[in-house]
Amino acid sequence: MEELIRTNNAVTISFASSLLKEAGIGHFVADEAASIMDGSIGALPRRLMVDSDAVDAARRLMEDAGLGDELRPEKRSA
């Protein structure tokens, strides 16, 4: 799994997760429990993780939906 988005914005995570679900791209939200424990003040970001083999498709989907600025930098292979 690879990190696609890291944000404190619950709406962004929810929207992106919904897009991935509709597209059939495997994903999960990491750190959701930790961010709930912070008292919902939004101090701890959530991470949207996607299956490694679907990262390119997920990135395109996010860009097409206007979430390109939210994407984590792409990993460069050595």
CATH number at residue 39: 3.30.70.790
pLDDT-based confidence at 45, cuts 50/70/90?
A: confident
Taking the C-alpha atoms of residue 59 and residue 38, their distance in angstroms, rounded to an integer, is 29
Label residue 78 exposed, middle or buried (CB < 10 Å: 0-12, 13-18, 19+). Answer: exposed
Mean pLDDT, residues 20-27 taken together? 97
Domain count, the chain: 1
CB 74, CB 59: distance < 8 Å: yes
pLDDT tens column, 27-42: 999 987 765 555 556 6
- What domain range is 35 assigned to? 2-69
Taking the C-alpha atoms of residue 57 and residue 6, their distance in angstroms, rounded to an integer, is 18
Classify residue 75: in a domain, yes or no.
no
